[in-house]
């Protein structure tokens, strides 16, 4: 629960920000331009005649903000939407998330039967060199100004990149992890005072880089922050019913996965336990265990410890970030990495606002701030400024106030004022639209939400009161199986172990349709590959080789026919599962499994975070599978968790055989994080432990897909990866659900809202055109 909240928020935020950076204008059908990047005078998008702006603010309902409205340091999706209103990204994307390479003159790309022309602030030319290196050549428009009237140049882009690559940068961007030439040399020999003090520990006696007073003050601050950090967990558990009250520390700690505290334990005791269990790794502790606020957020003077400390030799510049003109630059990478392009679409933050122009001298290795000291940038965290469609005015009493940026390069916004209004709940969001106090919002698309919308509209999701727009969620639901815990004789990749997992996979998969229809209705669809339908790499039913998940028997024959009824499919799945059990070494007689082979079991447990009430999309799958497996002689035990954090803790300890969860996704379908098991030179992906998949061929395919920018080749490679994952039978793809954006049909001019909204191209993508009635 805790660790996944932040990850999902960041993934969603990345998608929203990318969409805003891709502001476009719809154009009549015409071919996309293929002009070279040199010209900087753009073909202007057609703009309607200027009309007087409506001074009535457009109000958008939001979940609470954290006031980190920075293009560098924001953390939540909501804060990132605030700064995105004020910013322009270096690269634009279309409705499928694909990069726009010719942003200056625009590219016309069809979607859903309509041609749309997409514009951006720059052109990009990617050159793959004979020696395996890659040059990303950017040409920036020469007519863009920031909302305060200052012109945008390539210096602003270079400044923004150097902030993101500074050795002390601790935001969510990973631009510094890309294979940019000279990056390691620039970031080496320096670390933040925080990291050095944390690594040294409170008992350190080496004061080479700081004095004893600094160390004492640091640990006093950390420990008081740690007590608050722990107390927030206790408060969260108490509010959720996992502890009696905010003083019941021991019970809360146990619910959070830390047993053994004394009955009268305090928040300080809980913090000491957290620190001990994480062996002093404050960063991992904060990221993993937060109940909402990071450890740093509770510190009195965190910024004082973010400065860089020189500990060795370091390069003065990043040799692969090359200025080639006032409006042009090249990023030189040492190798092809298909994921890199998504990191290069940085927000172009104004040097004159976030940095110091007097400290920018490219030729003399000065980039707008002292290396290792981002205090100038951090000081503007709550007050964003950029070249985006709106200017940030203030955040007051739970409302973010914006005013139109009339110098926006794609045209002055039609609505002068926009307010982002904090809402305490999804009910507040929905009721605000129905009663007319909120114009746009994103309530949870639950059964109750649908019923309320239909009631307001007289029976439909879109009507006189509310207009509903749905898009696929950037992620998918699945049932996972750990290859080690679901094996025969502990051999994860044997034919017998795969057959065991396929037996369960066959039974689970046949009940997906009934379960997902029961839980979601039309709000979700069953998927057959472990990848979100939002991805360009997702196999389509019309593709060659497309198969229903776990729909062939042990001999490779189809289990089902198109004429089968649901009951006939259930019976066919049970028969196929018997074949897999037998292939796994189980004894099968008279249609029943009677004995397990050595190193396997007649009983397995499935974990599901259903709040103890079965409230989970896959719960019916498990209950139906339990009954079906019982008929075959196998016992499936369902463990319905009241605290989902127990699942993540147990998964990390590799204690779970079967579980139900969901993945968040990103624009690029790179599979390294989840399925790459490591090799002689590269570590395993950070989530590989969950499935325990270990396949050298799969590893190579993942790396090969990363090293090509040919999307056709990458899609074919990822299809082969997905087939391999299905063959390992460690993941049963279950569902792709939908999210909803709702609009007040009474107050918003619906024909001015961004058309054909998608997961990657949200309602904000053409916010400059949106008007009120």
pLDDT tens figures, 517-571: 999 998 999 999 999 999 989 999 999 999 999 999 999 999 999 999 999 999 9
Q: How confident is the model at residue 66 (pLDDT cuts 50, 70, 90)?
A: confident
pLDDT of residue 645: 74
pLDDT of residue 642: 84
Here the contacts of 198-203 (C-beta below 8 Å, separation 24 or greater) are 198/222, 198/280, 198/281, 198/282, 198/283, 199/280, 201/280
150 pLDDT more than 90:
yes
278: which strand partners? none
Contact predicate 234/267, CB 8 Å: yes
Average pLDDT score over the chain: 91
181 pLDDT more than 60:
yes
Q: What is the mean pLDDT of residues 423-445?
A: 93
pLDDT of residue 441: 97
28 pLDDT more than 70:
no
3-state secondary structure of 458: coil
pLDDT tens by residue, 279-334: 999 988 998 888 888 899 999 999 999 999 999 999 999 999 999 999 999 999 99
pLDDT of residue 52: 52
pLDDT of residue 3: 35
pLDDT of residue 24: 29
Pairing of strands 603-608, 658-664: parallel
4 pLDDT more than 50:
no
- Rounded Cα–Cα distance for residues 200 and 59 (Å): 49
Handedness of CA 716, 718, 719, 720 (dihedral sign): positive
Q: Which residue has the tokens 């999902």?
A: 8
5 pLDDT more than 80:
no
Instruction: Choose among 315, 63, 24: nearest CA to 183.
Output: 315
Q: How confident is the model at residue 26 (pLDDT cuts 50, 70, 90)?
A: very low
Burial class (CB in 10 A: 0-12, 13-18, 19+), 562: exposed
500 pLDDT more than 80:
yes
| Alpha helices in 707-766, H assignment, sequence order | 711-728
The pair phi, psi for residue 415, each rounded to 5°, is -105, 125
244 pLDDT more than 90:
yes
pLDDT tens by residue, 339-395: 899 999 999 999 999 999 999 999 999 999 999 999 999 999 999 999 999 999 999
Q: How confident is the model at residue 412 (pLDDT cuts 50, 70, 90)?
A: very high
pLDDT tens by residue, 707-735: 888 889 999 999 999 999 999 999 999 99
- Rounded Cα–Cα distance for residues 415 and 389 (Å): 10
53 pLDDT more than 70:
no
Contact predicate 767/85, CB 8 Å: yes
Q: What region does 459 belong to: left with phi over 0, alpha with psi -120 to 50, or beta?
A: left
pLDDT tens by residue, 207-220: 999 999 999 999 99
Q: What region does 280 belong to: left with phi over 0, alpha with psi -120 to 50, or beta?
A: left
Cα 190 vs. chain centroid, distance in angstroms?
A: 29
Q: What is the mean pLDDT of residues 28-33?
A: 28
Element (H, E) at 595: strand 592-595
Contact predicate 328/367, CB 8 Å: no
46 pLDDT more than 50:
no
pTM of the model: 0.80
Q: Which residue has the tokens 């189980």?
A: 586
35 pLDDT more than 80:
no
Q: How confident is the model at residue 158 (pLDDT cuts 50, 70, 90)?
A: very high
- Rounded Cα–Cα distance for residues 380 and 388 (Å): 17
Contact predicate 355/365, CB 8 Å: no
The pair phi, psi for residue 466, each rounded to 5°, is -130, 135
pLDDT tens by residue, 673-693: 899 999 988 888 888 999 999
| Alpha helices in 138-192, H assignment, sequence order | 154-165, 183-187
Pairing of strands 366-367, 390-396: unpaired
DSSP3 helix / strand / coil % (the chain, rounded to 5): 35, 20, 45
pLDDT of residue 215: 98
112 pLDDT more than 80:
yes
Here the contacts of 673-678 (C-beta below 8 Å, separation 24 or greater) are 675/702, 675/721, 675/725, 676/702, 676/703
- CB neighbours (10 Å) of residue 449? 20
pLDDT of residue 51: 52
400 pLDDT more than 60:
yes
Report the percent of the chain where pLDDT is more than 70.
93
Burial class (CB in 10 A: 0-12, 13-18, 19+), 256: buried
488: which strand partners? 491
29 pLDDT more than 50:
no
Q: How far is CA 582 from CA 219, 497, 514, 572, 585, in A?
A: 60, 11, 28, 16, 5
pLDDT of residue 453: 96
Q: What is the mean pLDDT of residues 258-286?
A: 95
Of 270-274, 657-661, 669-673, least confident by mean pLDDT is 669-673
Cα 33 vs. chain centroid, distance in angstroms?
A: 32
pLDDT of residue 643: 77
pLDDT tens by residue, 571-606: 999 999 999 999 999 999 999 999 999 999 999 999
pLDDT of residue 750: 97
């Amino acid at each position: 629960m805790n660790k996944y909240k932040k990850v999902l928020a960041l993934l969603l935020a990345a998608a929203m920000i990318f969409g805003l950076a891709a502001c476009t204008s719809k154009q009549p059908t015409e071919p996309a331009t293929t002009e070279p990047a040199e010209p900087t005078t753009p073909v202007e998008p057609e703009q309607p005649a200027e009309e007087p702006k409506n001074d009535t603010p457009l109000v958008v309902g939001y979940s609470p903000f954290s006031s980190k409205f920075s293009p560098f340091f924001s953390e939540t999706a909501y804060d990132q939407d605030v700064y995105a209103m004020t910013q322009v990204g270096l690269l634009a994307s279309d409705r499928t998330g694909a990069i726009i390479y010719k942003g200056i003159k625009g590219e016309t790309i069809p979607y859903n039967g309509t041609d749309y022309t997409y514009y951006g602030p720059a052109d990009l030319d990617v050159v793959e060199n004979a020696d395996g290196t890659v040059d990303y050549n950017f040409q920036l428009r020469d007519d863009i100004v920031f909302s305060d009237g200052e012109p945008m140049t390539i210096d602003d882009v270079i400044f923004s990149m150097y902030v993101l690559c500074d050795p002390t940068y601790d935001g969510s961007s990973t631009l510094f992890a890309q294979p940019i030439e000279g990056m390691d040399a620039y970031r080496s020999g320096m670390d933040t005072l925080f990291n050095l003090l944390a690594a040294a520990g409170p008992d350190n006696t080496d004061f080479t880089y700081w004095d004893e007073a600094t160390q004492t003050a640091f640990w006093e601050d950390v420990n008081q922050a740690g007590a608050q950090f722990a107390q927030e967990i206790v408060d969260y558990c108490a509010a959720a019913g996992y502890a009696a009250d905010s003083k019941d520390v021991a019970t809360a700690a146990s619910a959070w996965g830390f047993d053994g505290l004394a009955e009268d334990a305090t928040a300080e005791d809980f913090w000491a336990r957290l620190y001990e269990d994480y062996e002093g790794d404050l960063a991992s502790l904060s990221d993993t265990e937060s109940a909402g606020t990071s450890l740093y957020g509770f510190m009195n003077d965190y910024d004082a410890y973010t400065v860089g400390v020189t500990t060795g030799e370091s390069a003065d510049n990043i040799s692969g970030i090359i200025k080639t003109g006032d409006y042009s630059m090249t990023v030189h990478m040492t190798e092809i990495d298909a994921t890199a392009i998504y990191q290069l679409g940085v927000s172009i933050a104004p040097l004159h606002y976030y940095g110091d122009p007097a400290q920018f001298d490219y030729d003399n290795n000065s980039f707008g701030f002292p290396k290792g000291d981002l205090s100038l940038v951090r000081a503007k965290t709550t007050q964003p400024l950029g070249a985006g469609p709106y200017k940030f005015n203030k955040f007051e009493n739970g409302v973010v106030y914006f005013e139109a940026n009339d110098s926006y390069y794609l045209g002055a916004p039609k609505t002068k004022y926009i307010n982002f209004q904090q809402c305490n709940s999804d009910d507040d969001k929905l009721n605000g639209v129905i009663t007319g106090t909120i114009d746009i919002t994103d309530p949870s698309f639950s059964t109750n939400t649908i019923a309320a919308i239909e009631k307001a509209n007289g029976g439909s999701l879109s009507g006189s009161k509310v207009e509903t727009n749905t898009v696929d969620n950037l992620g998918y639901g699945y049932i996972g199986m750990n290859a080690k815990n679901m094996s025969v004789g502990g051999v994860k990749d044997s034919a017998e172990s795969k057959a065991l997992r396929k037996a369960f996979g066959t039974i689970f998969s046949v009940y997906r349709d009934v379960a997902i229809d029961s839980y979601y209705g039309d709000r979700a669809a069953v998927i057959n590959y472990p990848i979100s339908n939002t991805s360009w790499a997702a196999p389509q039913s019309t593709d060659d080789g497309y198969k229903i998940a776990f729909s062939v028997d042990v001999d490779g024959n189809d289990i089902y026919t198109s004429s089968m009824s649901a009951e006939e499919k259930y019976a066919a799945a049970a028969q196929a599962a018997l074949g897999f059990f037998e292939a796994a070494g189980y004894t099968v007689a008279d249609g029943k499994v009677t004995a397990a082979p050595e190193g396997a079991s007649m009983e397995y447990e499935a974990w599901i975070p259903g709040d103890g009430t079965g409230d989970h999309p896959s719960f019916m799958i498990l209950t139906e599978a339990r009954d079906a497996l019982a008929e075959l002689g196998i016992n499936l035990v369902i463990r319905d968790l009241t605290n989902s954090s127990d699942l993540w803790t147990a998964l990390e300890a590799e204690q779970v055989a079967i579980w139900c969860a969901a993945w968040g996704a990103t624009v690029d379908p790179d599979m390294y994080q989840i399925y790459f098991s490591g090799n002689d030179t590269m570590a395993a992906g950070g989530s590989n432990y969950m499935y325990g998949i270990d396949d050298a061929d799969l590893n190579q395919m993942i790396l090969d897909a990363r090293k090509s920018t040919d999307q056709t080749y990458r899609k074919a490679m990822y299809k082969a990866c997905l087939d391999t994952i299905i063959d390992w039978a460690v993941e049963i793809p279950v569902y792709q659900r939908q999210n909803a954006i709702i609009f007040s049909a009474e107050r918003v001019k619906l024909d001015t809202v961004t058309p054909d909204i998608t997961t990657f191209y949200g309602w904000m993508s053409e916010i400059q055109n949106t008007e009120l009635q």
